[in-house]
Amino acid sequence: MTDEIVPPDPAALLIKRLATRVRDIRKAQGLPRRLLSEKSGVSPRYLAQLEAGEGNISITLLQRIATALDVKIETLLSETAPWDREVQRVATLYRHAPRELQQQVRGLLAPQNPATLRAGRICLVGLRGAGKSTLGKLAGDALKIPFIELNREIEQHTGMPLSEVMAFYGQDGYRALEAEAITRVISAHDKMILAVAGGLVAEEGTFGQVLERCHTIWVRTSPAEHMQRVRAQGDLRPMQGNPAAMEQLKLLLQTRAPLYQQAEAEINTSNRSVSASLNDLVKIIASRGFLEVSAE
């Protein structure tokens, strides 16, 4: 007796192709989902479900999306993609290439010195509670350059609070959105202070782009102050029902330290006032010439 071969469901294939097509065209146009929602009148949540290949969509709503993307509705449904498949193939090869090879490719396509590539972009890395957001905003105000918190950028782009982003997309989906957000803010700003989530450094490709395109500073503190500051923010989850929380935090710091140490500079906010830590940060930025776009 042979196993019966079940043919693929045509409807499921169509929905999957539609999801990929809408997502790819939107990204190619640099159009945030929030703006596509405003242009089409389709909610951000529904667009997210559509791009995830979940559920059906009416012809009326699909026509609205096609109009907002300035393409024909048949472009979203056709089996042939509207762009060069060779470009897609190269892009896929690049995404799956080792980090070292990706860096070589970027170097060949944009042969510039590292200082020019980083421009005046400064990225603060470190675990939650070290002071990245507080110091980043204050430093941005003092230096009169934009301050961007990457998680807020993701919320604005998706039209959802971070808790819903995590619930809807999961950890892997969030990391993909994080990588897209890094590319987006780097393209939009030659000067900025950026604060990223503590776990970004564990994503090799994303962290590689940050190291290449931003001046990086590790904002660090002691495990006790990490925990104290997180609790002061009103988040008691790290300690509730978990007596080993402090040991886990110490292990996490120890594990990530080699990654954080790849930053160009660091400041230690342990037992330091906010004003003193801000002064440390501004001094490092000035002494290293991080805002001198033409620096060698």
Whether the pLDDT of residue 20 is over 80: the answer is yes
Do 19 and 120 belong to one domain? Answer: no
Do 281 and 135 belong to one domain? Answer: yes
Q: What percentage of the chain has pLDDT greater than the value 70? A: 83
Do 137 and 270 belong to one domain? Answer: yes
- Confidence at 238, pLDDT banded by 50, 70, 90: very low
Q: What is the residue type of 273?
A: S
CATH code of the domain covering residue 68: 1.10.260.40
Mean pLDDT (whole number) for 56-70: 82
73 in a structural domain: yes
Position 294 scores a pLDDT of 52
Query: pLDDT of 66-120, one tens digit each?
Result: 888 887 887 777 766 655 455 656 766 777 778 777 767 766 666 456 667 888 9
Position 277 scores a pLDDT of 95
Q: Looking at per-residue confidence, does 134 or 228 come out higher?
A: 134
83 in a structural domain: no
Position 243 scores a pLDDT of 60
96 in a structural domain: no
Do 256 and 173 belong to one domain? Answer: yes
Do 139 and 205 belong to one domain? Answer: yes
Whether the pLDDT of residue 205 is over 60: the answer is yes
Last residue within a domain, chosen from 77, 92, 121: 77
Q: Looking at per-residue confidence, does 16 or 2 come out higher?
A: 16
Has this prediction a pTM greater than 0.75?
no
Do 33 and 152 belong to one domain? Answer: no
Between 72-76, 223-227, 242-246, the lowest mean confidence (pLDDT) is in 242-246
**b/e string for 238-258 if b means 16 or more Cβ within 10 A?**
beeeeeeeeeebeeebeebee
